[in-house]
Amino acid sequence: MLGEYTSLEGEVAVIPIVVKTLHEGSLVCVASAQNNSEIVPTASHPHSLKVVEPVNGAQIVHSGPVELYEGNTLELHCEVTAGNYVSYKWLLDGQLISQSPFHYVAENHLRISRTSSEDSGSYMCVATNTFNKTRVFSSYSSEVVFIVKDLVSSPNVSFTVLKEDSQNYSAAVTFPVGGSVMMQYDFDFGENYAIVGLRFYCKLEKGSHPQFQWFLNKTRLHDRGSFYYVWNQHPKQSMLQLSVGRSSTGTYHCEVSDSFDNTTAISSKRQYLDKDVLNRLPILVVAVVFGCFTALILMVSICCCIGVMFRQRQYGEKSLWNLEMERMNAAYEGDLDLSVYNEDPDVVKTARGDEFDQPCEASVDELPEIEEEKKTLEDELV
């Protein structure tokens, strides 16, 4: 019973309750007559009460070391100090961890069955609950960093125990080495694009405690020399920086062994380095440049020939048209001579007499001009 209240007739009973998670469930109000057992008590319909406690105090709980080797199992739990109706998310370096064949995510439990170096990083769990679908409460755990180490060697380990005296013992441990080693390089250019510097990179495919060694013509190169410098950049890569010259000519390679046992090593491919060879243009590049230049000259020549042929054709057609016009004009003039001037003299004389027998009203001053025009017409007719 949560509470009891006595009211007067017709008064509404109000029972104050400090809600806690233990109050969750079905609430029923029972009304009965005071000091009168003959009146049967009545009960209200049940009312479901859900109590949401804001989540708080999320933290990651795990057993075992924070450093482990690949292939092992990692199990984490997310626990909270307060809260109910909680949902959980797991993050690795800020990225959500999804369900996969090797990653089992269920509520507040995360299990990675076969770890690898990709599982290394900072883990965090996020606990969340919601009130009335409007207010969201979240609690973030502290980050826990796990390091998963790859094996550079086979997991088969052999050792020999040695007794030095009655109190001291020692053991000789050996690892058989495995994996692959890759060697790459890039250049530094000087004046006229000549190669003046070169960097070799020796990379280990798998392993967490390797030991790198560089060799020039089977002679080991130590940390620093007159033309080189060795720098182990991170656990899986070493760099050899060179000044390209006469002293740097030769065949280079790197070897990787376990830092606990250097009796067995893995070697990279060998690379020959020579200053003259490096600065010599490859035959393929020369062929490509020469081919492009030849193709350009050929295209320009074809364009010129097409232009000349088009111009000759244009001017040739114009000349033929001019000749045809001249021929037609000459023929037309010949036709005029025959049709106009090949007339009967008597007809011409009659026409001439009729033309000039017309009465003339011109003045005396105009007679010389008329005579001149008459003469010009007669000459034209002849």
Query: Which residue ranges make up each domain of the chain?
Result: 1-51, 60-149, 181-278, 284-323
DSSP three-state, residue 151: coil
* Residue tagged 């760099």 (tokens): 239
Query: Is there a shared CATH topology between the 60-149 domain and the 181-278 domain?
Result: yes
- Output the average pLDDT for the chain: 77
Q: What is the mean pLDDT of residues 118-128?
A: 93
As a whole number of angstroms, the distance between CA 168 and CA 101 comes to: 47
Q: What's the pLDDT at 366?
A: 58
Percent of the chain with pLDDT strictly greater than 90: 18
As a whole number of angstroms, the distance between CA 55 and CA 139 comes to: 6
What is the DSSP secondary structure assignment for residue 205, as one 8-state letter?
Answer: S
Between 322 and 254, the more confident residue is 254
- Give tens-digit pLDDT for 306-346: 887 877 676 555 555 565 666 666 555 555 454 444 555 55
Between 377 and 180, the more confident residue is 180
Instruction: List the single range of 9-18, 45-54, 84-93, 103-112 with lowest mean pLDDT.
Output: 9-18
Structure tokens of 234? 């991170």
Q: What's the pLDDT at 378?
A: 61
CA 53 to chain centre: 46
Q: What's the pLDDT at 122?
A: 94
As a whole number of angstroms, the distance between CA 179 and CA 236 comes to: 12
With 90 as the cut, is the pLDDT of residue 348 above it? no
Q: What's the pLDDT at 140?
A: 95
Q: Strand 67-69 and strand 144-149: pairing?
A: parallel
With 60 as the cut, is the pLDDT of residue 303 above it? yes
Percent of the chain with pLDDT strictly greater than 70: 67
| Long-range contacts of 108-113, Cβ-Cβ distance < 8 Å, separation of 24 or more | 108/77, 108/78, 108/79, 109/75, 109/76, 109/77, 109/78, 110/74, 110/75, 110/76, 110/77, 110/78, 111/73, 111/74, 111/75, 111/76, 112/73, 112/74, 112/75, 113/73
* Residue tagged 């299990």 (tokens): 111
Q: What's the pLDDT at 57?
A: 94
- Give tens-digit pLDDT for 182-228: 888 888 877 777 788 888 988 887 766 788 889 998 888 988 888 89
CA-based angle 371:375:377, to the nearest 5? 120
Between 375 and 356, the more confident residue is 375
Between 133 and 338, the more confident residue is 133
Q: What is the mean pLDDT of residues 23-36?
A: 79
With 80 as the cut, is the pLDDT of residue 29 above it? yes
197, 241 Cβ separation under 8 angstroms: yes
Q: Model pTM? A: 0.39
Domain 181-278: CATH class, spelled out: mainly beta
In this prediction, residue 381 has a pLDDT band, given cuts at 50, 70 and 90, of low
As a whole number of angstroms, the distance between CA 244 and CA 228 comes to: 9
The residue type found at 316 is: G
Burial 62-98 (b: 16+ CB within 10 A, else e): eeeeeebebeeebebbbebeebeebebebbbeeeebe
DSSP three-state, residue 183: strand
As a whole number of angstroms, the distance between CA 298 and CA 181 comes to: 49
Q: What's the pLDDT at 61?
A: 93
Q: What's the pLDDT at 157?
A: 54
CA 306 to chain centre: 46
Q: What's the pLDDT at 70?
A: 86
Helix axes 367-381, 345-356, angle to 10 degrees: 170
Between 65 and 235, the more confident residue is 65
Q: What is the mean pLDDT of residues 160-187?
A: 67
Q: Which CATH superfamily is domain 60-149 in?
A: Immunoglobulins (2.60.40.10)
Q: What's the pLDDT at 56?
A: 94
φ, ψ for residue 278, nearest 5 deg: -65, -40
In this prediction, residue 92 has a pLDDT band, given cuts at 50, 70 and 90, of very high
